[in-house]
Amino acid sequence: MTLARYQNLRHEQPEPGLHVVTIDRPRALNALDSATLAELACVVGALAADRTARALLLTGGGTKAFVAGADISEMQSLSPDQARAFSWKASRLFLDIEALPMPAIALVNGYALGGGCELALACDWIVAADNAVFGQPEVNLGIPPGFGGTQRLPRRIAPGKAMELLMTGRQVKADEAVAIGLANEKVAGDALLARGLELARTIASKGPFAVRLVKQAWHRGQALDLAQACAVESDLFGLAFSSPDQTEGMRAFLEKRPPAFEGR
């Protein structure tokens, strides 16, 4: 079911609670311009308020590119102040994607370069098609990454490897992306959406409130030392025991039946 058709993206719900958002600017290899960022922000805002949403799959239209990068034709004449505002517009959006209560999974088909790699990194994990290519090539344009790449890449992969990719602009294909921990797995291109939906169904079958708490604990803990992060986890663990999902999940386990979670 198509929920909305924007100028530059599609928002579909193939199954209850499962959302697929496709960046669809084929002539620009799905590059991110201001209009596309604004449309994606509308979808993310709607999903953040949707208590029935269980998973977001984010992908690119066609087979050539997930998102080839930010739109250079729009960026080339920006003033320093305009460039900073453009960067922060995307950064705020990517922070909102990270803050979604449901998991976001990037299904990367083709090029995920610059802003496209940064968009994938803002998702909770990445499934790569066999033709996927990742990279932060901004240094080739005389600029650093501006959508969070210098911060998220060394949080996703080994810091030394991240620095190498950020400073050389070298691109990595799917096998290497999996090997260095940038992508979780590689699948055939024609199986990418099916694999994404399989993962989304698995997530949707779990306690939705618990899934939200896992995501909160992970993100909040990244900025803390271990003792503080474990204290956050303990707080959220205790909060779970105020949830009907906890009561149902444990009762179902003891009664040896599948749980019927309510998502609260």
Instruction: List active site positions.
Output: 118, 138
Distance CA 105, CA 58 (A): 6
- Token readout for 165 is 């990719």
Strands of 18-23's sheet in order across: 2-5, 9-15, 18-23, 55-60, 104-108, 125-129, 185-187
The strand pair at 111-113 and 104-108 is best described as unpaired
28: closest CA among 73, 77, 90, 94? Answer: 73
Helices and strands in the chain, H and E counts: 11, 11
Distance CA 83, CA 228 (A): 36
Q: Give how far Cα 228 sits from Cα of 22, 61, 98, 225, Å.
A: 38, 42, 21, 5
CA 119 to chain centre: 6
Q: Give how far Cα 55 sits from Cα of 125, 182, 199, Å.
A: 12, 20, 9
263: closest CA among 240, 245, 249, 247? Answer: 245
- The DSSP output letter for 32 is B
Q: Give how far Cα 84 sits from Cα of 77, 130, 213, Å.
A: 13, 35, 33
